Amino acid sequence: MLDVPPRFGIPHACHLWVGTPISDLVYAVLAHGNSAPYKVPLTSTFRLTPTPLGSPQPSSMAQPRLVSLAFFVAGLISGAHSTTFSFKNNCPYPVWPASLANAGKAAFSPTGFQLDSGASLALDAPPAWSGRMWARHRCSTDSSGRFSCLSGDCGTGQVACSGAGGATPTTLVEFTLQGGGGKDFYDVSCVDGFNVPVSVVPSGGSNCDSTSCPTNINARCPTELQMMAPDGSVVGCKSACIAFGTDQYCCRGKYGSPDTCKPTGYSKMFKDACPQAYSYAYDDKSSTFTCAGANYDITYCP
């Protein structure tokens, strides 16, 4: 069993109550109290109510509850930063933000919602969340109650995307929270194209930078990349990969490395419009940002 500072002093009888494996778990968490990922101050005191020695032990029926309690306690003392995302819509039209978690990560709740012009909404991210966010626009509900969008639709027929991704082209905001070194990693990406201007601004935290794609690329999109609405308006601008699907534009095959996949005229158009955003798959040097211990403001049409 790991050594624990005496001031944590879990009564020995508690080992009998929760069982050796669970008490080991609690000690393991406490023993790492002042280091990542637990961050429990070593002046903290951890208390459990002991079962007197000689008392009957909990029945096997109670074991799941005791196991759950131990993990609950470990979660309480883990001290992980809870990240809040504040979404704001500065566009002169409503947008419907959506999110898709990476495999194995818990989903945001909700996975999609409406933001009228000027409206805002704050959501807490699941711990160590990673995934993508995007905005849908030109959305409506038909007479049968089916919800759909001309830009960024996720195909569920509802406002919630429930694990579905958005139809390209979309301006993506990508996050990995509490990644390597406990840092958050984030970017704005036009690799899948562009549909709505967006910015990411950290609030609090340390060593943080904002990033954005504030330009309305739809207004300068080449004809061959345009995503058109039935009324003839441009609702999105495809990347060359999305529009043409070739290995060269998609950084696949013999172009599948930073040495062989280079910027093209199309990716340079996106980069000129939004210098901080990803313009193609290997546009890492100027497009990935890190931060620690922050919350984030996501603004559409910043």
pLDDT tens by residue, 148-207: 999 999 999 999 999 999 999 999 999 999 999 999 999 999 999 999 999 999 999 988
Amino acid at 18: V
Short-list 150, 85, 149, 90, CA closest to 117:
90
Residue type (1 letter), 199: S
Q: Round to whole Å and give the CA distance between 50 and 32.
A: 23
CATH homologous superfamily for 84-300? Answer: Thaumatin (2.60.110.10)
In this structure, how many other beta carbons lie within 10 angstroms of the beta carbon of residue 97? 27
**Structure confidence at residue 80 (pLDDT):** 58
Nearest of 230, 229, 228, 250 to residue 240 by alpha carbon: 250
What tokens were used for 288?
């990935």
pLDDT at 5: 41
Q: Both ends of the chain: CA-CA distance in Å?
A: 54
Q: The pTM is what? A: 0.74
pLDDT given at position 60: 45
- Which tops the pLDDT comparison, 224 or 17? 224
What pLDDT, on a 0 to 100 scale, did the predictor assign at position 300?
99
DSSP label at residue 51? P
What are the structural domain ranges in the chain?
Answer: 6-77, 84-300
